[in-house]
Amino acid sequence: MIQTDICIIGAGPVALFAVFEAGLLKMRCHLVDALPQVGGQLSEIYPQKPIYDIPGYPAIKAQELIDNQMEQIKPFSPTFTLGERVDSLEQQTDGSYIVSTSENTKIHCQVIAVAGGLGCFEPRKPDVKDILDFERKGVDYMVKNPEIYRSKKIVIAGGGDSALDWTIYLSDIAEEITLVHRSESFRGAPDSADKVYELAKKGKINLLLSHNLLGVQGNGSLSHVKLANKAKDEFLIEADHLIPLYGLTPKLGPIANWGLNINKNAIEVNTFDYSTNVERIYAIGDINTYPGKLKLILSGYHEAALMMQSAFKYVYPDQKLSFKYTTVNGINTF
């Protein structure tokens, strides 16, 4: 059982800023995200996209913003559970919660902050017969632990940044790696595409462009992947693992079953402190809704700050929130 003061569902920029605000108030945070890394959609979907509305930065790339925020919260030592989805909440007699994930990780907390962005990102699955039978038996939709692919035969399907980046990374780990893409060109970063082409020229990977994923085969676990080329000739290749990386689709997921007031796939909140209709559960960032809501990272930062002020009473019920400043080495601290 993981013990913490606040369990934050999500690990995007608003969630990370919530950690900072909690840390200033001496509250501990544990973050849970279904994605295998922090950063939410900024890191997963558009890490190189410039962002123009962060104070103090005329422009900053999405991943750079996340990296800076991780550095900012380092003094508060937050903990993380990544690659797992929060499935259920169980309120205890003292008002606290036990949060359970898809992998049966359990977190005991006083307060829950839902900062899930657009919701739980679920992988887009290829329309391939029997693929569901091989999930966790050779078919993976995200890379959680690269070491499980060491000395294995891997097929990656896709043409975006994730497919390119994991092909490059796993080329030094897998025994054999094949990248399959239905088009002649990639959608990902040109620099990553160039690296993939170079790996193919050196014979470190097999690159199959204008090929389609048709099927999967195996006896209990994956053994072969069926493909078709541009001429629609079908063939099989050996594979220990298939990793289709076709992007992510945001869905509200299990959150919809927690008794929260939902309006058009967003959680209704009180703008006084961004609390929901369920005691000790707050919602901040793009996942919440209220009159005048703006879906901006900056708005989420504001919501996180006010939310943590309110959450303080549940973590320290016998203390009154007040600020006392001291100066250490010329730096003002609380």
Cβ burial of 156 (10 Å; 0-12, 13-18, 19+) is buried
Check whether 327 is labelled as a binding-site residue.
yes
Are 179 and 208 within 8 A, CB to CB? yes
Sign of CA pseudo-dihedral 44, 50, 54, 56: positive
DSSP H or E stretch at residue 87: strand 86-91
SS3 46: coil
Check whether 240 is labelled as a binding-site residue.
no
Check whether 46 is labelled as a binding-site residue.
yes
Check whether 225 is labelled as a binding-site residue.
no
Helix runs in the chain, H state only? 13-24, 40-44, 62-73, 161-170, 190-201, 297-315
Q: Which of 71, 28, 65 is nearest to 48 (CA)?
A: 65
Are 65 and 51 within 8 A, CB to CB? yes
Encoded tokens for 91: 């309120």
DSSP state of 126: P
Encoded tokens for 58: 């005329």
Other C-beta atoms lying within 10 Å of the C-beta of residue 233 = 9
Cβ burial of 7 (10 Å; 0-12, 13-18, 19+) is buried
Check whether 41 is labelled as a binding-site residue.
yes
Which residues are documented as binding site? 33, 41, 46, 86, 121, 286, 327
Which residues are documented as binding site for FAD? 33, 41, 46, 86, 121, 286, 327
